[in-house]
Amino acid sequence: MTRFADLTSPQVAALLTAERRPVLLLPVGSVEPHGPHGPLATDWLISAGACDRAARRLEDDPEVRVLILPAVPYGVTRYASAFAGAVSISEETLYGLVVDIGTSLAGQGFRHLVVVNNHFEPEHVAAIRRAVDSLGAGYLDILRRSNAARLTEEFRSASCHGGRYETSLVLADHPDLVDIPTMRGLPERFVDMAGEIQAGRTDFLAMGMDRAYCGAPADATADEGVSTFDMLTEMLIEVIRDVARRP
In the structure, what pLDDT confidence band is assigned to residue 1 with cuts at 50, 70 and 90?
A: low
Average pLDDT, whole number, for the chain?
A: 97
Q: Is 37 inside any structural domain?
A: yes
Q: What's the whole-number mean pLDDT along residues 159-177?
A: 98
Is pLDDT of 108 > 80? yes
Q: Is 123 inside any structural domain?
A: yes
Domain range enclosing 46: 4-241
Q: Is 246 inside any structural domain?
A: no
Q: Is 171 inside any structural domain?
A: yes
State residue 57's pLDDT score: 97
How do residues 51-100 score in pLDDT, each as one tens digit?
Answer: 999 999 999 999 999 999 999 999 999 999 999 999 999 999 999 999 99
How many Cα atoms sit within 13 Å of 78 on the Cβ side? 11
Query: Which residues are within 8 A (CB) of 113 and not within 5 positions of it... i.e. 6 or more apart?
Result: 23, 24, 25, 26, 102, 105, 106, 135, 137, 138, 243
User: How many domains in the chain?
Assistant: 1
Residue 137: alpha-carbon gap to chain centroid: 16
Is pLDDT of 185 > 90? yes
In the structure, what pLDDT confidence band is assigned to residue 30 with cuts at 50, 70 and 90?
A: very high
Element (H, E) at 105: helix 91-107
Sheet with 21-28, side-by-side order of all strands: 64-68, 21-28, 113-117, 138-140
Closest CA to 22 of 58, 53, 49, 52: 58
Q: Is 8 inside any structural domain?
A: yes
Q: What's the whole-number mean pLDDT along residues 174-192?
A: 98
Is pLDDT of 113 > 90? yes
CATH code, domain with 153? 3.40.50.10310
What residues pair up with 140 in beta bridges, in sequence order? 116
State residue 2's pLDDT score: 87
Q: Is 214 inside any structural domain?
A: yes
Q: Is 236 inside any structural domain?
A: yes
The answer to whether 67 and 55 are in contact (CB under 8 A) is: yes
Q: Is 247 inside any structural domain?
A: no
State residue 176's pLDDT score: 98
State residue 59's pLDDT score: 95
Q: What is the DSSP string of 200-225?
A: T--STTTTT-TTS--B-GGG--HHHH
